[in-house]
Amino acid sequence: MITDEILVVKEVNYKENDKILHALSRTKGKIQLIARGSKKSNSHLINASQLFAYSKCSMTKSRDMYIITSAELINSFYNLKNNIDAFYHGNYVLELISYVAQENDYDYRIFDMTVAVLSHLCTMSKDFEKLTAAYELKLVSMLGYRPYLKHCLSCGKEIKEDSVFSIKEGGLFCSRCVNYGSGINVTYGEILTMERILKSKFEDIDSIEVNQKILQVIRNFLFYYIGKDNFTTLKLL
Ligand SMILES: [Zn+2]
From ligand 1's centre to the CA of 151, what distance in Å?
A: 8
* Distance (Å) from CA 205 to ligand 1 centroid: 30
Evaluated on CA atoms 188, 193, 194, 200, the torsion sign reads: positive
Task: Please give the pLDDT value at position 180.
Answer: 64
Domain boundaries, the chain: 2-75, 78-153+157-236
The pTM (predicted TM-score) of the whole model is 0.95
- What is the second-level CATH architecture of the domain 2-75? Beta Barrel (2.40)
Domain 78-153+157-236 -> CATH class: mainly alpha
| Region at 192 (left for phi over 0; alpha for psi -120 to 50; beta for the rest) | alpha
Q: Region 116-143: what's the mean pLDDT?
A: 96
What tens digit of pLDDT does each residue of 74-91 get? 999 999 999 999 999 999
Q: Tell me, in angstroms, the distance from the centre of ligand 1 to residue 183's CA.
A: 14
- Dihedral angle, C-alpha 179, 183, 185, 189, nearest 10 °: -110
- Tell me if domain 2-75 and domain 78-153+157-236 are identical in fold: no
147 CA from centroid of ligand 1 (Å): 16
Confidence of residue 236 (pLDDT cuts 50, 70, 90): confident
Q: How far is the CA of 179 from the centre of ligand 1 (A)?
A: 10
Residue 218 phi, psi dihedral angles, 5° rounding: -60, -45
